[in-house]
Amino acid sequence: MSTRRELLALGAGAAVGAATAGTPAFAHDAGPGPEHWVATWAAVPTTIPTRGAPTVLEDQTVRHVVHCSTGGDELRIRLTNEFGAEALHVDAVHVALRHGSGASTAIVPGTDRRVTFGGRPDPTIPAGAPMVSDPVRLRLQAGGDLAISLYFRRRTTVTTLAAFAFQDNVIAAGNVTSARTVKATATLAQDLFLSGVAVRKHGAAAIVTLGDSITNGANTQNNLNHRWPDLLGARLRAAHLDRGIANAGVSGNRLLHDPNPPAGSDAETFANYFGVNGLKRFDRDVLAQPGRRFLIVLLGVNDLGHPGTVAPPSEVVSAGDLIAGHRQLIARAHEGGLRAYGGTILPFKDDTLGFYSAGNERKRQQLNRWIRTSGEHDGVIDFDRAMGDPADPIRLNPAYDSGDHLHPNDIGMAAMAAAVNVRLFR
C-alpha cells in the first residue's frame, strides 16, 4: 500500500485503480475555442436555503482565494447572479496573485489588477444571469492561487453562492479590493457571486469533474487544496499534460432530483445548497466551461441515500433510473464533443448518514457493473475498487475514511486522484 506521503505527493502518477479508454462515440474532440480560453477554476452556483438568515453585505469587500489548475498570461473572471431576483451591482472587482499559502489572503505586490466588464469597473449583472469579465493581463503559473476581491457599497443580500469552498475566504470593511492585506471582519468557506476563472492559452484543454460532495472536497482540511480534482491536476502537471480542471462538484447533489427537504425538517436550513440535479445543470456547469474536452462523472450516491433522510421516500430511484440518467450525460457530452469517463460509486457500508441498506448496496453494485462493462463511456475510472476496504470491499477503506464511512479523508482523496489514468487526457 502507498504511504501517506506518497499519496499526497502524487509525484509518480501511478494509477491505483483501473482506468481504461474506449473508442469515442463521436467524430471529433472539442478543443479550446478561437481565442483558446480554458477553464482553470470553477465553483457551482446554488441558491440559499428556505430557512435561515442570508449573508448581507454593505460597504464591504469579499476576498476569495482560488486555486488554479493551469496558467496563462491573460485571464477572465466569471461572476454570477443566477439566483438573484433583481440586478446585482458590484462596485469594484480586483484580481491579484495570492501571496503565501493556507489561509493567507495577502496579495503579491505589483500584481493587483482592476477587472472590467464591457469596459466598466462596476458591473451590473441582470437577475438570473452570469457575466464574464474583459481579459486581464496577469501572468498566472499553473497550480498558482489568485485573490479575487469584490466590493459592495450598497446593501446586498447574497442569493447566489457556492456554499462549500473548503477555503477560508474573508469579508473586510470598506473598499479594500486593491489592498495588499485585509483585516477580516468575518471568515467564510463560501464563494459569493463567483463561479469561474479561465485563462488564454494555446494547446490546453479542460477537464470537467461533475459530481457531488466527494468531488466538491467534503471533509478535507480547509486551505490545503486536497480535493481529488486538485490532486489530479498536480499529477497532470507532473506528467507535463496542460489540462485545466473545472470542479463542478456540489455537496449533496443528485443526478435525477433537485433538493426537496421535507416540510419542517432541519434539511430546510441547508438543502438548497445541494444545487439542481445533474441533468438540469449539465449545460451550465459542463458545456459552458471554456475549452472543455473531457468529462468525469461521479454521481449517484445521493440519489440512493437522500430519499428517506433529507428527501421524501417517494423519490427512491432504481439502478435502471440511474443508468438512464448516466446515458443522458454521455449522449449530451458526445453531442458537445467531449469524451465522457464514468466513475464508479464509492462503497459506503455502515455510513453515519443513513444511506446504507442492503437494497441501496444492490443498486450501487448494479450501477457500477454497468459503468465497468457496458462500454458506453469512453473510459472507466474505478473509484470503487481503489477505495474499498480489502477486508470488506463494500466498506470504505479505514485508511481513507474521514469518519462518516462515506467521504474520503485527505489521504483518500489522494488515492482517488491516483486511481485516474492520466493517459485518458492525452
Work out the widest C-alpha separation in the chain, in whole angstroms.
61
pLDDT of residue 13: 38
Q: Is the pLDDT of residue 191 over 60?
A: yes
* pLDDT tens per residue, range 373-384: 999 999 999 999
Q: Other C-beta atoms within 10 Å of 202: how many?
A: 9
Helix axes 358-373 and 319-335, enclosed angle (nearest 10): 30
| Distance in angstroms (rounded) separating the CA atoms of residues 128 and 47 | 11
Q: pLDDT grade, residue 421 (50/70/90)? A: very high
Question: What distances in angstroms separate CA 196 from CA 8, 13, 130, 346, one per listed residue?
Answer: 26, 27, 10, 28
The helix/strand/coil state of 216 is helix
What element of type H or E holds 63? strand 60-67
Overall average pLDDT of the 342-355 stretch: 98
Of the two residues 27 and 302, the one the predictor is more confident about is: 302
Q: 3-12, 289-298, 374-383: which has the minimum mean pLDDT?
A: 3-12
**Count of alpha carbons within 13 angstroms of residue 162, beta-carbon side:** 31
Nearest alpha carbon to residue 332 among 274, 370, 292: 292
* pLDDT tens per residue, range 152-184: 999 999 999 999 999 999 999 999 999 999 999
Q: Decide: 328 and 279 in contact? Cβ < 8 Å.
A: yes
* pLDDT tens per residue, range 392-414: 999 999 999 999 999 999 999 99
- The whole-model pTM stands at 0.93
Q: Is the pLDDT of residue 58 over 50?
A: yes
Geometric angle at alpha carbon 274, from 42 and 166, rounded to 5°: 50
Burial of 212 (0-12, 13-18, 19+ CB in 10 A): buried
Q: What is the grid cell recorded at 230?
A: 486538485
| Distance in angstroms (rounded) separating the CA atoms of residues 68 and 202 | 17
Q: Decide: 18 and 387 in contact? Cβ < 8 Å.
A: no
Q: Is the pLDDT of residue 17 over 90?
A: no
Q: pLDDT grade, residue 203 (50/70/90)? A: confident
Residue keyed to cell 474536452: 293
Q: pLDDT grade, residue 35 (50/70/90)? A: low
* pLDDT tens per residue, range 123-152: 999 999 999 999 999 999 999 999 999 999
